[in-house]
Amino acid sequence: MRAILAALIFLLAARLEAAAGEGRYSCEVEGFYRFANAEFVRNDNSDLIGERFSVDRSSGVISGFELSNEQAQERMVIDKGSNKQAFKVLSVFEVYGPYQGVKYLHIEEFAQTPEKAFFAVSGSWLLTGHCTGGGGVETTQ
């Protein structure tokens, strides 16, 4: 009886954890490029490689490290993603007085694999990597 009860508790905890992760991406940076002299130059020694961040699909809030848009003046989920479209978020920041800063995140939600490739642009940086999670993808005819 105890074994059955323990198994049920374990199953319930696993389902609650999965439900809490729905609608959220967890991403890891695998590539870092800096734009210079009209080209993107790869930097394999960047401290940003290996950094992780998370993204809420419904609000577009990006949490964790450089890509965070929690302090953005404006945050727009341009596309929630589907089996044919990428998930896209554009964030606008006031950088210095009247100057604006922009960050863009593109996650290949349409990929038929558990890991979804992403790229992000922040200033003169281009970051690449993979995300997991997301859940709740709408299908497009």
Residue with tokens 């290996």: 50
Domain of residue 70 covers 23-133
Q: Is there a contact between 68 and 62 (Cβ–Cβ < 8 Å)?
A: yes
Based on DSSP, count helices (H) and strands (E) in the chain, helices before strands. 1, 9
For residue 13, give the 3-state DSSP assignment. Answer: helix
Whole-prediction pTM: 0.78
In total, how many domains does the chain have?
1
The answer to whether residue 136 scores a pLDDT higher than 90 is no
What 8-state DSSP symbol labels residue 137? P
pLDDT band at 126 (very low <50, low <70, confident <90, very high): very high
Q: What is the pLDDT of residues 10-21, one digit of tens each?
A: 333 334 333 344
Residue with tokens 């490029």: 33
